[in-house]
Amino acid sequence: MYVDEELHPGRPHFHVEYTGSGASFAIADLERLAPRADGPTTAANRTAAEVSSVTIEIVLAEPPRLRKAVPLDGYTVHLEFADGLAADIDLSYLVGRGPVFEPLRDPEFFRKLEVDECDATICWPNEADIAPDTLYNYVQRAVYAKKLAATAPASSN
């Protein structure tokens, strides 16, 4: 998904490429925003109404490997990834989220978390774990929030 590009400001959209030709479509209403000028007319250059089906392949990169997980106070865990991104994350939301996370109510059991080298995530003795991309997303958000807070203008009261 792309947003706020020079050609389509404020219009979230995606690009479709097909046999050397392509177009951009708005996500909200599938309106064709711009065909590519080169190449033959193909499904990618038609309006969305003219296209009976469009298959979009999304390739997601795996997050960097989790290198370190250290339980801190309460349900907070310090996470460090191989790319250097690190933050303290509150995982209290997991408590009570289904039977597999029920044992985490016990703070001592929660502290038994460890890094699963194969899956590059944290896990507990009862085989509960969290998707590594979820952990990485939380760390990214925490780092971004910290940067925003550091650059926010001081309030004048």
Q: What pLDDT, on a 0 to 100 scale, did the predictor assign at position 63? A: 73
Per the listing, tokens 């699963």 go with: 116
What would the mean pLDDT of 28-44 be, rounded to a whole number?
58
Angle in degrees, CA 36, 38, 42, rounded to 5: 70
In this prediction, residue 78 carries a pLDDT of 97
Taking alpha carbons only, the member of 119, 123, 152, 133 closest to residue 85 is: 133
Task: Look at 1-5, 46-50, 92-96 and tell me which has the smallest mean pLDDT.
Answer: 46-50
Beta strands in 82-135 (DSSP E): 86-90, 114-116, 121-123
Q: The whole model's pTM is what?
A: 0.59
Judged against a pLDDT cut of 60, whether residue 43 lies above it is answered with: no
Q: Would you say residue 60 has pLDDT above 60?
A: no
> What is the pLDDT at residue 87?
96
Any idea where the domains of the chain sit in the sequence?
Answer: 1-59, 66-151
> pLDDT averaged over the chain?
78
Q: Which of 154, 81, 83 is nearest to 122 (CA)?
A: 81
CA nearest to 125, candidates 149, 155, 101, 145: 101
CATH architecture of the domain with residue range 66-151: 2-Layer Sandwich (3.30)
Higher-confidence residue: 6 or 44? 6
